[in-house]
Amino acid sequence: MKLIKVKDLNRTIAALYLARKDKRVPKKSKILISVAIGYVLSPIDLIPDFIPIIGQLDDLIIVPALIALAIKSMPKDVLEHYRLKAEQINLKKSFGIITLFITFFWSLVAIWLIKFIMKLL
């Protein structure tokens, strides 16, 4: 498997984000892309970041693994098409909206959980 250079990482992630709606991309790739983007943008981790070393390792292992699996399961020509497209557009606004949505979602979950715990007490 070809390793992605650090300078190409942003372009590749943006390409995956764009490709997730393409009909030529298999469902498996779409799911992996969505989970990777959701995990990166989510304030909740499987292993909390405050746990020394292991907390950061999950981000360094899980996300790249999901991205690598998504890339591997995608047609090469589709991925290259979206890499070129990602160079041409600015995705900061879209990622900002997604981040806002994910933060709002987890805030609702936290509020619900607090209310649920308060009822039990």
pLDDT of residue 8: 72
10-residue mean pLDDT profile of the chain (121 residues): values are 62 85 91 83 74 76 85 91 83 64 83 88 78
Instruction: Please indicate, yes or no, if residue 79 is contained in any of the structural domains.
Output: yes
Instruction: Please indicate, yes or no, if residue 108 is contained in any of the structural domains.
Output: no
Instruction: Please indicate, yes or no, if residue 104 is contained in any of the structural domains.
Output: no
Instruction: Please indicate, yes or no, if residue 40 is contained in any of the structural domains.
Output: yes
Instruction: Please indicate, yes or no, if residue 101 is contained in any of the structural domains.
Output: no
- Residue 57 belongs to what domain range? 6-91
Long-range pairs for 104-113: beta carbons < 8 A, 24 or more residues apart: 106/42, 106/43, 106/44
Instruction: Please indicate, yes or no, if residue 17 is contained in any of the structural domains.
Output: yes
pLDDT of residue 6: 60
pTM (2 decimals)?
A: 0.60
Check residue 22 and report its DSSP letter: -
pLDDT of residue 56: 74
pLDDT of residue 3: 59
**63 burial type by CB count under 10 A (0-12 exposed, 13-18 middle, 19+ buried):** middle
Q: How many domains does the chain have?
A: 1
Instruction: Please indicate, yes or no, if residue 112 is contained in any of the structural domains.
Output: no
Q: Which two tokens stand for residue 11?
A: 């372009």
